[in-house]
Structure 1
Amino acid sequence: MLKNENEADDEFAFVVVKLCPRWRVSIARDHSQWLVQYRSTLDLQRRRGVWSNRRFCVTSRALRRDVRELVPDADPEALRLLDHLPAHASETRPPLRVWDAVGSRPVLVDEN
């Protein structure tokens, strides 16, 4: 399936880190800010629910703070990946690399 530019979609092209099944971090299409997004349902098989923006962060410092506040059950490996993001969202350049928690072991996925 082709990735798209709809922030509310499961296949949004600019997802950076999947923190757990209902939380992820994406980057805005113009790379101006990171988006902390929450999925409205866990029913992943039927593709119900949408992703909604809960926080908007320009700096990675604010992003890490907000993620720790909002997502206490985030995968520890995904949280460590946030430490490697640039200081400002505007410094992020494609291709993005996505951290995807699969089972109990996170896997790094190249999104080229």
Structure 2
Amino acid sequence: MTHAGNRWSLGVIHTLGVYGRLRHADIRRRVHGVTERILTTTLRQLERDGLVTRYDLSEMPPRVEYELTELRMGLLIHMIPLLTWVVENSDQFRTSREEYDSDRMRKPPWQTF
């Protein structure tokens, strides 16, 4: 399943798991950095795989909302330890990236690989 490691899928799953049924724009506001196009593609993939339900509400103007299916709720429960680990180790990731980037800045371009 490709969604488990996909940054945007995880963000959408987390957002819908925390906030429940949401409109496209509301999801986009909560998933930082995602573009409208990427979010649309991600939601379609999740819907295709049966992990998100799309609700077309017969209103004017047209309105669409998204919600996790029961299948995805099971995955969300298993994601919590992973998300906790990421948060607990975020300072270490940041430090590693800074060290790596500063080391590459000191070397001439032909020595960086």
TM-score range, shorter chain: under 0.3
TM-score (ref. length: structure 1):
0.28
Query: If each structure's helix is expressed as a fraction of its own residues, which one has the higher value?
Result: 2
TM-score (norm 2): 0.28
